[in-house]
Amino acid sequence: MFLVIDIGNTLKKAAVFDENGQIVSQCCWETVAELLGTLIPYEIQACLVSTVRNDGPQLVDELKLHFPTMLFTSAMPLPIVLKYDTPKTLGTDRIASAVGAHYLIPDCPVLAIQAGTCLVADLVTAEGEYLGGSIAPGLHMRFTALAEGTARLPLIQPRFDAEVLGKSTETSILSGVFHGILFEIDGMIEYYSKQFSGLQVLLTGGDASLLKNSIKNPIFAAPNLVLTGLFRILRYNV
């Protein structure tokens, strides 16, 4: 069995894959003891840790006491080619998303969109070249920024029924944030579709369920995209 760990800005996620690349167990966790408790039924052959925080080396040292563990960096051998100007600054979650996207749809250019703490888009060609993408505030970050960056605007929770034409302060905020991010995603898809014939789009992340039915362009939901990419990277190196 193979273990991959994805530590993002909000959640710590882990997944156990079998030899065939199927997820047999996954969880969110807080402490190493809690994580290890979920792994008791499995014999872990190798582990890959991806983190956007600074706790990676310490976690790897702790896990190495139990099974072979590596910290994922952009310098690691990859099944795709990075065509990025500053690969050392490239988030490992973005690389994993691109690897997962190319693995799931290998014969087409793919735009992988992560809708989480940030709205992140990454483009990988049919030849497996990662070209780059974009980073913007995510859905909840936009609501929080309006509330914390102004004197009188309230903090609003996302809703599915937001009208484009807001007729109150609350519905105006809902419209601006919810429809603004939808217009942004649709505009991005339309732009890249003109540049890359046959473009496919994958949507993942914690807010994907809020957005997927409102995006007008065709997309495919890929809830485990980053975990899948991490598994492919781990197998590429083991």
* Residues involved in catalysis: 93
Which H/E stretch holds residue 181? helix 180-195
Q: What is the sign of the dihedral through the CA atoms of 179, 182, 186 and 188?
A: positive
β-sheet bridge partners, residue 51:
7
Which H/E stretch holds residue 211? helix 208-211
Which H/E stretch holds residue 113? strand 110-115
Complete DSSP assignment for the chain: -EEEEEE-SS-EEEEEE-TTS-EEEEEE-SSHHHHHHHTTT---SEEEEEESSS-HHHHHHHHHTTS-EEE--TTS--SSEE--S-GGGS-HHHHHHHHHHHHHSTTS-EEEEEESSEEEEEEE-TTSEEEEEEEEE-HHHHHHHHHHSSSSPPP----TT--SS--SHHHHHHIIIIIHHHHHHHHHHHHHHHHSTT-EEEEESTTHHHHTTT--S--EE-TTHHHHHHHHHHHHH-
